[in-house]
Every structure is written in C-alpha cells, then in structure tokens.
Amino acid sequence: MPLVPTADLVARAAAARGCVAAFNVITLEHAEAIARGAEEAGFPAILQISENAVRYHGGRIAPLAAASGAVAEASGVGLSLHLDHATDLRLVQQAADTGFSSAMFDAGALPHAENVTATAAAAAWAHGAGLWLEAELGYVGGKPDAPASAHADGVRTDPAEALDFVNRTGVDALAVAVGSSHAMTRRTAALDHALIARLRRTVPVPLVLHGSSGVPDEELGAAVRVGMVKINFGTALNIAFTRTVRAVLSEEPVQVDPRTYLGAARASVADTVRDLLTRLAASPPAEGDTGQRGTDDHRHGSVGQ
Ligand code: G3H
Ligand code: ZN
C-alpha cells in the first residue's frame, strides 16, 4: 500500500466523526513497530518525525524519513509521514523534499502576534509546496505578552482566539490546549470536554490533541466523541520500548546482540500501538451518531467515533 497523504487520513477521520492516531518515530524500530501495530489493529496511522528526532539524527531529516517512507510503502494499511513540532521553516522545506505530506509548524513559544505572522508565512509556503499544515495556538486569552506552551499545565485555548488564529494563518489543523501535557508517564490527565466541544463548534479545521500518552482511554474516547480528530502519541511508545530493553538486558546481562533487545522492544511498541488503536476504536459512539465507523474498508479510514 502506498504512502498516503496525511490530509486524506485526517479528512476521512473528520468526515466519519472519528479520529486518526499519530505516533512519533525516533528509530527505524519505531516505524516498523507502528506499521505492525496498525496492521494488527486494521487501522491507518500517521508516522510523525519531530524536529527533536531529526536533531538526534545529527540534524539530517532524510535518512529516517526515507526509512519510514519505505516502511509505509510496504505496509498493509495506509500510513502517512508528518513532520512534528518544527520550529524552523527550513526544516519544513526539507520535509517537502523527503516524502512528507504534512508538517506541524510550532511557533507556540513566540508572543501571539509573532506566532500569527510566522505561522501564516509557514502555511503559505507549505500550501505552495503541497503540504498540509498543522499549527498550535501557544498562548491563552488576554495576555499577549505572556507566551506559554499550549500544552503546559493549566493552559487552555480560547475558542474565539482559535477562530481568529485559524482565519489569519490559513492552517489546516489546530493543536489546542484542553488539559493534556507532553511526556506524561502516567495516564492521569483529565480533559476539558466542554471546551473541546466549544472549540469544535467554533474552529473550522480539525482539532489535534498532543500529549495523548498521559490521557486515559475513556478520556480519549470522550475527546474524540466531542471533536478531537488527530491524536498524537509519543511517550507511550517509548515507555514500552525502554521498559523492554531494560528487562531483556537485566535478564541477560551478557547479551551483546542488539537484535535481541531491539527486537523485543519493537514487538512491545507494536503491541502498544495495536492496543491504543483498538481501544480508541472501541470507544462508544457519540449521542446521535448512526453507528457507522469510518469507511467500509477501515484500513484507509478512521479510528473511533
Ligand atoms: O507531538 C507529539 C505528541 O504530542 C506526543 O506527546 O509524548 O506526551 O504522547 P506524548
Ligand atoms: Zn506534541
């Protein structure tokens, strides 16, 4: 199955009132595990490579992008390639040449006016290059000189400001602050469902949830039912990966073949991806929904309802 565009996966998910999950790729084993987990669950997914992951690979985007793209091409489900949390427009420009169909431009740490200007420029460039662009509204109402990460504790996105931001920047999707935080290792986050519903009614583009590893299954299901479309996971995969490496090496302290512990870690990440996708799909439908879940062939469709 070919690499598919992120725009198609998100549009199908939004049309079905479901979601599409996006998983962060750091190594080849992550990409292989995400593909395997998505195949086992029978749902499409987005492979995300972050600016931080590119930095880890010596600042070179092409090797991991090429490997992830090749994994997607060989997959039995639709997988797309997305650049995550890019703060440098030059990296977005490199992504356009290396198989990505989408990017998140993250100017959320800038003061609001600068975030709007930088994001509008990034969206104009991305659209000219055929890329779908996600952005983040990085500060919350009434304090234009007090930037904060949209995913910091306590920060929330104001619906009227989100509408204005989307109108002024022309972005295709918006990451919003509704109670999740990045890099949580326990699933204890509580989301503001009423705010998600208001954002969905107000904002004309699909909403994106970051920091989903810290959100319990039932909260994720509720978030999708009231309007979240793209659900980003990273830390959950790394917990599985690292826990498994640690277990294998402590059981076999003389082991030197990396295929033993990396292979076990890859299998563990695949199980995590499969389980996250399966549980998202199992969340009960929203009130008034017809019960239809995505498309008939859900390998191209969406997860959850
Ligand atoms: O952009 C990526 C996600 O927001 C990942 O967040 O590592 O907390 O799941 P997480
Ligand atoms: Zn994120």
- 283 falls in which pLDDT band (50, 70, 90)? confident
Residue 32 lies in a domain: yes
Q: How many domains does the chain have?
A: 1
Residue 292 lies in a domain: no
Domain interval for residue 143: 6-281
| Span from the CA of 180 to the centroid of ligand 2 (angstroms) | 10
Is residue 124 within 8 A of residue 170, CB to CB? The reply is yes
Q: What's the pLDDT score for residue 95?
A: 98
For 90-124, how does the pLDDT look when each residue is reduced to its tens digit (9 = 90+)?
Answer: 999 999 999 999 999 999 888 899 999 999 999 99
User: What is the distance between the alpha carbons of residues 204 and 131, in angstroms, rounded to a whole number?
Assistant: 18
Residue 159 lies in a domain: yes
Residue 154 lies in a domain: yes
Query: In 10 A of CB 239, how many CB atoms?
Result: 17
Considering every ligand atom shown, identify the ligand nearest to the alpha carbon of residue 213 and give its number. 1
Considering every ligand atom shown, identify the ligand nearest to the alpha carbon of residue 210 and give its number. 1
Amino acid in the structure at residue 55: R
Ligand 1 atom at minimal distance to the Cα of residue 235: 7
Considering every ligand atom shown, identify the ligand nearest to the alpha carbon of residue 84 and give its number. 1
Pocket test for ligand 1, best of 182, 208, 241 (most atoms within 8 A of CB): 182
- When pLDDT is averaged across residues 37-44 and rounded to a whole number, the result is 98
Q: What's the pLDDT score for residue 290?
A: 43
Query: Which residues fall within 8 angstroms of residue 26, CB to CB, at 6 or more apart?
Result: 53, 56, 238
Is residue 294 within 8 A of residue 13, CB to CB? The reply is yes
Residue 9, exposed/middle/buried by CB under 10 A (0-12, 13-18, 19+)?
Answer: buried
Residue 66 lies in a domain: yes
For 222-242, how does the pLDDT look when each residue is reduced to its tens digit (9 = 90+)?
Answer: 999 999 999 999 999 999 999
Is residue 102 within 8 A of residue 129, CB to CB? The reply is no
Q: Whose CA is nearest to atom 10 of ligand 1?
A: 211
| Span from the CA of 74 to the centroid of ligand 2 (angstroms) | 27
Nearest one of 186, 181, 162, 180 to 220, comparing CA atoms:
180
Nearest one of 235, 239, 263 to 249, comparing CA atoms:
263
What is the domain-level CATH number for residue 44?
3.20.20.70
For 119-156, how does the pLDDT look when each residue is reduced to its tens digit (9 = 90+)?
Answer: 999 999 999 999 999 999 854 333 334 445 555 556 79
Question: Residues lining ligand 1, judged by CB closer than 6 Å?
Answer: 24, 84-85, 182-184, 210-214, 232-236
Q: Which residues on neighbouring strands pair with residue 24, listed in sequence order?
A: 48
Residue 305 lies in a domain: no
The answer, yes or no, to whether residue 291 has pLDDT greater than 70, is no
Query: In 10 A of CB 129, how many CB atoms?
Result: 15
Overall residue count recorded for the chain in this entry: 305
Confidence (pTM): 0.92
The residue from 8, 84, 289, 296 that is catalytic is 84
Residue 300 lies in a domain: no
Instruction: Indicate if 296 belongs to the active site.
Output: no
Residue 296 lies in a domain: no
User: What is the distance between the alpha carbons of residues 228 and 241, in angstroms, rounded to a whole number?
Assistant: 27
Q: Which residues surround ligand 2, an ion (CB under 5 A)?
A: 210
